[in-house]
Amino acid sequence: MNFKPLGERVLVERIEEATTTASGIIIPDNAKEKPSQGKVIAVASDVEGVEVGNTVVFGKYSGTELTLDGKKYLVMDLSDVLGVIL
């Protein structure tokens, strides 16, 4: 995959949530909420404070979906990133 975000943007791969509850109940796809955490895959040269490999938290409806090499990613503005999980 070759993708370089421009401006103050980052490319994020969502971290999928578990499909079952702690008690073993299976959550159907239509009842799951969109994950709000992801791994940073690429960073524009103008971005500071976020690095490739960081796990970030973002709003549920942030970013633009993009499919590269059959995988789904989000391209989002740095302002959509709420924080980095340390």
For 2-29, what is the mean pLDDT? 80
Q: In this model, does residue 9 exceed pLDDT 70?
A: yes
Q: What HEC string does the chain produce?
A: CCCCCCCCEEEEEECCCCCECCCCCECCHHHCCCCCEEEEEEECCCCCCCCCCCEEEECCCCCEEEEECCEEEEEEEHHHEEEEEC
Which pLDDT tens digit goes with each residue over 17-74?
666 666 777 766 555 566 689 999 999 998 999 999 999 999 988 999 999 999 999 9
0.85 cut: is pTM over it? no
Is the domain spanning 9-85 CATH 2.60.120.10? The answer is no
Which residue ranges make up each domain of the chain? 9-85
pLDDT, position 40: 97
pLDDT, position 60: 86
